[in-house]
Amino acid sequence: MSAFRLALISGALAALVAGVASAVTGQVGGPGNAWAREPATIGWISLGSGAVMFALVMLITRDWWWL
């Protein structure tokens, strides 16, 4: 696997993990985030965007061997 593919997959996994974390904790960023008025909604949006990014990277790179 090339370094570029590994970087794409790592970034997509990081986005997916961040989305899960924000959906579970209901917090995006850190304490004092003034724009996070609806933390649960923002968490689910973050989870959805992370999942979409992960799926797109998997489709582009076609690296499904580890699933």
Does residue 45 sit within a domain? yes
Does residue 13 sit within a domain? no
Residue 61 is part of which domain span? 38-67
* Number of neighbours of residue 31 by Cβ within 10 angstroms: 6
Kindly give the confidence (pLDDT) of every residue in the chain, 67 residues in length, as a single tens digit, with 9 standing for 90 and above. Answer: 677 777 777 777 777 777 777 666 666 555 555 555 555 666 677 677 777 777 777 777 776 665 5
Does residue 11 sit within a domain? no
Does residue 14 sit within a domain? no
Does residue 53 sit within a domain? yes
Does residue 52 sit within a domain? yes
**How far, in Å, CA of 67 to CA of 56, rounded?**
15
Residues 6+ apart with CB under 8 A from 32: none
Domain count of the fold of the chain: 1
Does residue 56 sit within a domain? yes
With both helix axes pointing from N to C terminus, report the angle between 39-61 and 3-25 in degrees, rounded to the nearest 10: 160
